[in-house]
Structure 1
Amino acid sequence: MKRPLKPEEQKIWSMVAATVHPLPGRSTPRKPAPQTLDAPARIEPKRAEEARQRLREALEGIEPNRRHRIAREREEIGARIDLHGMTQDRARAALEAFVLRAFDNGWRAVLVITGKGVQGDGVLRKRVPDWLAAPHLAHVVAGLSEAARHHGGAGALYVALKRKARG
């Protein structure tokens, strides 16, 4: 017997379901009636942080077979961006513009080079997954995974992009 989805699971599922389009000749399924929750109008910072963490966890991990195709270059890496030496603000702006441009160009995978930092705890390395989990990029980013050694290993990330909607 299946358990009912929790509200946060329902929210993540609705974000995923919004990216699915029916096959040609098929109709779009009706949306279920929205559930009303007695939640405060404003999300408290702690709850917002928890929501970002759940979204980041849902985002992490490209499908293993797809990651293997990207690493073996059987699925083309459309572009690369190197964030070394950038401030956090500049790196975030560059990353977001890069990912949106790659999506608009129809690329399905890109490489983001963050570097590992002095002791393997680089700020950009930690922050990039959070930035890619932002709600305004949810329609673009399918997943992310640490790059293979020949593409930068722990200092780089493969970013899988969703298919661009037809029409």
Structure 2
Amino acid sequence: MDSIKLLDKVIIYQQQNEQSYPAQEHLLLQLCMRVTKKLTDNINSSLKVDGINDTTLMVLALLSSADNFCLSPTELSEKLDISRTNITRVCDSLEKFGFIRRMESKEDRRSKNIYLTPDGDLFLQKITRIYGRYLKKIWSNLTDDEIKIFKIISKKVLSQNIYQ
């Protein structure tokens, strides 16, 4: 059975058991989660050829756009909203490829900063061209208006603080 049809079936069942069940909201949440997973899986599959994933690409891109091509692990973690442990793992991999180097911080010798190397910058330029073509392909079946609406809705949902 198609996963969307199965999802519809589950939601209908829940709604039949409880009339006030937020079926539409449940469906929207599930669709968002599935779209995110599909996009991430497809992007990572396309990047896997070059030995990286979406997180690795974002680390390189952030370093490329930073002052002096340098950020601390904490800054990377905060900007990407991922754990310091994951940043360490990604940086270990990038350092093995020679795309970054870690150097002692001038402000605090106990910490290290992460610098993008010239090889890392060249690699990022190559990957960015490939990634750009892939991104265009992903969104090519949407009209300009659909893309605009998608952005507005996504930003609105992301800016909502539901925990207050």
TM-score of the superposed pair, with normalisation by structure 2: 0.24
- More contact order relative to length (CA 8 Å, sep ≥ 6): 1
TM-score of the superposed pair, with normalisation by structure 1: 0.24
Relative to total residues, which structure has the larger helix share, 1 or 2? 2
Relative to total residues, which structure has the larger strand share, 1 or 2? 1
Q: Which has the larger radius of gyration?
A: 2
